[in-house]
Amino acid sequence: MNLRKLDHIGVGVRSIESARKLFVEVLGGAVVHEETVAHMKLRICKIDLGGSIVELLEGLDGEEVVRRFVEKRGEGIHHLCYSVADIRAAQKELEKKGYQALWSEPKMGSSKKLVTFLHPRDTHGVLIELSQS
């Protein structure tokens, strides 16, 4: 498997508007993408901070993963995302090496990119996302 780069750091927040103030007004980042991913019930705001992307994640009504994370652990780093050329090949290779993906098939995520996640129990407690670029 050939990881291309760290694509972004996902941060679970209660309110994108509130968190955006820190990353844009205080730290000087620039919003590069915002969207609502309806089928995942998530609002997403990507902010460029000197070439590194922070992805703010706000769970909407009915969303359980990010909301549960924020309730249980508080706002903070939710996942690391790495870009790969072929997500299905990468997932298959990782599964052969004993790492479990959360879904049997990648799903359409933000920016219409295919994504999958590795189970954090297999990755030393770090939720790792793979994104096909």
Calculate the alpha carbon distances from 58 to 64, 78, 79, 98, 101 in Å.
11, 11, 13, 31, 22
Q: Give yes or no for residue 2 having a pLDDT over 90.
A: no
pLDDT in tens, 15-32: 999 999 999 999 999 999
What pLDDT shows up at residue 133? 82
Q: Residue 33: give its domain's CATH number.
A: 3.10.180.10
- Produce one character per residue of 72-107: b if its CB has 16 or more CB atoms within 10 Å, e if not: eeebeebbebbbbeebeebbeebeeeeeebeeeebe
What pLDDT shows up at residue 49? 97
What pLDDT shows up at residue 66? 97
The answer to whether 45 and 111 are in contact (CB under 8 A) is: no
Q: Give yes or no for residue 1 having a pLDDT over 80.
A: no
Count of domains forming the chain: 1
Residue 124 gets the label, from left (phi > 0), alpha (psi -120 to 50) or beta, of left
Record the pTM.
Answer: 0.93
**In 31-114, which ranges are continuous DSSP H helix?**
65-73, 87-96
pLDDT in tens, 80-106: 999 999 999 999 999 999 999 999 999
If you average pLDDT over residues 26-49, what whole number do you get? Answer: 97
The answer to whether 7 and 79 are in contact (CB under 8 A) is: no
Q: Give yes or no for residue 125 having a pLDDT over 80.
A: yes
